[in-house]
Amino acid sequence: MTSALPQLSPAQRAVVDAPLQRKLWLEGIAGSGKTSSGIARMLHLLQQGVPAESILLFVPQRSLAQPYREALRDYPGYSGGQLAVHTLGSLSKDMVETFWFLIAERAGFAHPQDLPNFLSLEMVQYFMTRAIEKLVAQRDYFKSVRIDRARLYSQIVDNMNKAAMVGFPISEIGTRLQTALGGGVEQAHIYADAQACAMAFRQYCLRRNLLDFSLCVDLFAQQVLALPVARNTLRGRFQHLIADNVEEDNPAAHRFLMSLLPNCKSALLICDHDAGFRSFLGADPESAARLRQACDNQVALDGSFVMSEPIAALGVHLSAPLLGEAAAAETDFRPALIAEAHRYHPQMIDWVADEIGKLVFEKGIKPQEIAVLAPFMSDSLRFSLFESLRRRGLSARSHRPSRALRDEPAARTLLTLARLAHPGWGAAPVQFDLAFALTQTIAGLDLVRAKLLCDVLYRDDGLHPFSGITNASMQDRITFDIGKRYDQLRDWIMTYSQGEPIAALDIFFRRLYSEVLARRGFGFHADVNAGNISRNLVDSARGFRWSLDFLRRFDDDIDLARDYVQMVERGLIANFYLRDWIEEAEDSIYIAPAYTFLLSNRAVDAQFWLNISSEGWSSRLFQPLTHPHVLSQGWQSGAVWSEADEQELERQTLRRLVLALTRRCRQAVYLGYSELGESGYESRGLLLETLYTALRRSHAEGATPSPQTPPP
């Protein structure tokens, strides 16, 4: 069919060549060839003359559509027509925008004659703050909650999103949480406060024609799909459906697919066994399974194109104890498992870097085929890994989504320099922040010498030239090479600040990056991570500017640049940026939280699991204002969440995690273990206990112990 695709198995070929009037359910483990079958089916439809614009590719996350986009781009037989690629959010937005004037008044918007304003995640956080900050202060809400306000408000947003995806009114959020979780009088107040804030934000949006994700999905499900003209539009436009990773989608998406299926000429719904990793974002595999019976045929793909036999056995031996079962795999998993016990955490980091060096320089494995994973990727852990790899001549890239922009060094640097370049804001950076920014900006400058520069050259009227240092020994210590680059940066900032300030902060960031920071000799040069964060910050500031121009009709006290900087420094959680998920730097080791790696849906030759004694591998993050399982469709109304529920959730979470990781690994898993963890304390999480159980059983069955694995 096309040379761009790998050779298909008979089972895959049967799916691809099925009649065009057939609706198929395709399931299997990760690596069994499901997405390859979906891509081949899409190209087969086009080859049979199906118009591209009549095909809907539906995915839970935009990055999961990338293999389809790449195959379509490389397919020689494709010309003309726009294949529709949608998530629930993007389709809801398109349909609400199309039929806005038919639903706006009935939905309760104060200005139904005006256009809607769709909010990104970042803009939702900004408007949430404006909507409820005074209310929280006046009524002393959340007085016992000790987390950042940005994280607190994001949990309120998460509650509203869960309500929309499951299909219950946001007015029921507090009651559902209180009934299931209890927690005493104080916790009841917290849930009531969260409920009040959600209602206040919804009214704020209705008064200003603002649509966050939850309101947009509500309007699509309750208002748009109730219009006969909208239903006919969808049925007429999408005659062929391909929905991949349906297990990672939510009940609202599944209800939409169920309503679309009867009117489709063909459909292919693809489901991954033992998945549902986006449960914290509303993923519901049980809801997805209901789509199975709506299909004409159910097909299961066996085997894996990824795992070696020892890796497959490792997955079985680790998952079986979590179900209280004996492992059924006959293959010895120990050749695929490599570990070494260490006393201290830095020793483990050095061991990881040494082993990666052996893989790259001695065994010829490409760096991009190596993934370093942990339950949480802290700044200190990331920095230690980067430095250890750098000392061995290796480069790395990291991806940490759902992370505050202010926590990224590149973003902090740009924000600090923006303050310095805009003295009219009256918000000059403090000396330590400027010293940190200089270390990120000027290649080779350490924090000690940066502080010396600031001590001598940073005054109330800004930075002074390097020649202002009259002490010869201090000049020699800092070096004239660094002084030259310092002067280049200072001259650029002084020239900018003495002219007319640019009204658009995103343009300032772009100019600063391209004209100074990305040049040779400066810190962002050839730094993929810094480049991505800089582009994200530019996009974020631009979106902020575009979203707020209209708001001056309602609020006249908005200073775009000031408000944006304050918003980011409060802990703004970054938007979903597709480039972070799909861009791969050649010759770079991939460093990420384990779930981020899984959601990127890729396989590698070798995986390093760090901090295997940490409870984070199985335990969910504590969130005082929300609970993804209690707010799910499968939770029984009136039930109480118990300790037994929590323990069962931990076992099932770890089981899915180890199976998913091993199914995306070809050759070996390296276990990073230290008796004293990153924080300096001992821990014994469920993953470590499960590993010991698997090793004991394997040893009892007569397998030869590996000298590199820690003893049970």
Name the most confidently modeled range: 118-132, 197-211, 314-328, 411-425: 197-211
The secondary structure element, H or E, covering residue 558 is none
Strand partners, 86: 58
pLDDT tens-digit readout, 12-66: 999 999 999 999 999 999 999 999 999 999 999 999 999 999 999 999 999 899 9
Q: 184 and 158 in one domain?
A: yes
Tell me the backbone φ, ψ of residue 669, rounded to 5 degrees.
-115, 125
pLDDT tens-digit readout, 143-154: 888 888 888 999
408 pLDDT band, cuts 50/70/90, is: confident
CATH code (residue 237): 3.40.50.300
Residue ending a domain, among 239, 268, 301, is 301
Q: 506 and 364 in one domain?
A: no
584 pLDDT band, cuts 50/70/90, is: low
Residue ending a domain, among 191, 216, 241, is 216
Q: 689 and 604 in one domain?
A: yes
A 10 A CB-CB count for 38 gives 25
Average pLDDT for residues 590-610, to the nearest whole number? 93
Q: 358 and 233 in one domain?
A: no
Q: 344 and 281 in one domain?
A: no
| CA 635 to centroid of chain Cα atoms | 25
Identify which of 267, 274, 316, 325 has the alpha carbon closest to the alpha carbon of residue 292: 267
Pairwise CA distance, residues 117 & 548, whole Å: 10
Measure Cα distances from 599 to 30, 90, 99, 690 in Å.
Answer: 12, 19, 33, 24
E strands within 201-260?
A: 210-211, 240-243
Helix, strand, or coil (residue 286) = helix
The answer to whether 15 and 22 have CB atoms below 8 angstroms apart is no
Residues 6+ away with beta carbon under 8 Å from 329: 312, 313, 316, 317
Identity of residue 607 = Q
Alpha helical stretches, state H, 292-361: 309-319, 345-361
Residues 6+ away with beta carbon under 8 Å from 137: none
- Six-digit token string for 470: 């009259």
> Taken in order 449, 450, 455, 459, is the CA torsion positive or negative?
positive
Pairwise CA distance, residues 400 & 533, whole Å: 11
Identify which of 343, 411, 346, 404 has the alpha carbon closest to the alpha carbon of residue 380: 346
580 pLDDT band, cuts 50/70/90, is: low
User: Is 708 part of a structural domain of the chain?
Assistant: no
Residue 711 has pLDDT above 50, yes or no: no
Identify which of 367, 297, 371, 436 has the alpha carbon closest to the alpha carbon of residue 594: 371
Between 578 and 127, the higher pLDDT residue: 127
pLDDT for position 705: 40
Q: 443 and 383 in one domain?
A: no
User: Is 583 part of a structural domain of the chain?
Assistant: no
- Among 23-37, 188-202, 321-335, 625-639, where is mean pLDDT lowest? 321-335
Q: 664 and 594 in one domain?
A: yes
Measure Cα distances from 13 to 7, 40, 240, 299, 612 in Å.
Answer: 9, 9, 18, 12, 40
User: Is 101 part of a structural domain of the chain?
Assistant: no
Identity of residue 53 = E
pLDDT for position 364: 95
Residue 706 has pLDDT above 60, yes or no: no
Average pLDDT for residues 270-299, to the nearest whole number? 92
pLDDT for position 75: 82
Strand 337-342's sheet: what is its strand order? 337-342, 665-674, 604-609, 370-374, 588-593, 395-398
pLDDT for position 568: 85
Instruction: Report the helix count and the strand count for the chain, using DSSP H and E.
Output: 28, 16
Residue 299 has pLDDT above 80, yes or no: yes
User: Is 98 part of a structural domain of the chain?
Assistant: no
Domain count, the chain: 4
Q: At what angle do helices 505-512 and 409-421 cross, to 10 degrees?
A: 110
Pairwise CA distance, residues 232 & 707, whole Å: 66
Q: 276 and 153 in one domain?
A: no
Q: 338 and 393 in one domain?
A: yes
Q: 433 and 524 in one domain?
A: yes
Per DSSP bridges, beta strands 462-463 and 458-459 are antiparallel
Mean pLDDT, all residues of the chain: 89
Residues 6+ away with beta carbon under 8 Å from 578: 62, 63
Residue 554 has pLDDT above 70, yes or no: no
Residues in the chain: 712
pLDDT for position 404: 75
Average pLDDT for residues 282-297, to the nearest whole number? 94
| Matching residue, tokens 């379509």 | 72
User: Is 24 part of a structural domain of the chain?
Assistant: yes
User: Is 648 part of a structural domain of the chain?
Assistant: yes
The answer to whether 87 and 246 have CB atoms below 8 angstroms apart is no
Residue 382 has pLDDT above 80, yes or no: yes
Q: At what angle do helices 173-181 and 184-208 cross, to 10 degrees?
A: 160
Average pLDDT for residues 461-477, to the nearest whole number? 90
Q: How many CA atoms lie within 13 A of 539 on its CB side?
A: 17
User: Is 100 part of a structural domain of the chain?
Assistant: no
Q: 467 and 539 in one domain?
A: yes
Q: At what angle do helices 528-548 and 409-421 cross, to 10 degrees?
A: 60
Q: 532 and 594 in one domain?
A: no
Residue ending a domain, among 301, 325, 343, is 301
User: Is 431 part of a structural domain of the chain?
Assistant: yes
Pairwise CA distance, residues 599 & 63, whole Å: 9
| Matching residue, tokens 């198929």 | 24
Residue 578 has pLDDT above 80, yes or no: no
pLDDT tens-digit readout, 158-212: 999 999 999 999 999 999 999 999 878 889 999 999 999 999 999 999 999 999 9
**What residues make up the domain containing 536?**
405-572
Average pLDDT for residues 572-585, to the nearest whole number? 65
What is the percent of the chain where pLDDT is above 90? Answer: 67
Pairwise CA distance, residues 709 & 422, whole Å: 57
The answer to whether 252 and 167 have CB atoms below 8 angstroms apart is yes
Model's pTM, two decimal places?
0.88
Measure Cα distances from 565 to 80, 232, 427 in Å.
Answer: 43, 45, 10
pLDDT for position 427: 85
The answer to whether 190 and 624 have CB atoms below 8 angstroms apart is yes
pLDDT tens-digit readout, 491-513: 999 999 888 767 688 999 999 99
pLDDT tens-digit readout, 344-364: 999 999 999 999 999 999 999
DSSP 404: B
329 pLDDT band, cuts 50/70/90, is: low
pLDDT for position 710: 45
- Among 81-95, 233-247, 501-515, 644-658, where is mean pLDDT lowest? 501-515
pLDDT tens-digit readout, 252-265: 999 999 999 999 99
Pairwise CA distance, residues 404 & 301, whole Å: 40
379 pLDDT band, cuts 50/70/90, is: confident
Residue 684 has pLDDT above 90, yes or no: no
Identify which of 525, 447, 442, 520 has the alpha carbon closest to the alpha carbon of residue 487: 442
- Six-digit token string for 223: 């208002």
Q: At what angle do helices 309-319 and 686-700 cross, to 10 degrees?
A: 110
Q: What value, to the nearest 5°, has the Cα angle with vertex 433 and ends 429 and 437?
A: 105
- Among 210-219, 260-269, 554-563, where is mean pLDDT lowest? 554-563
pLDDT for position 707: 38
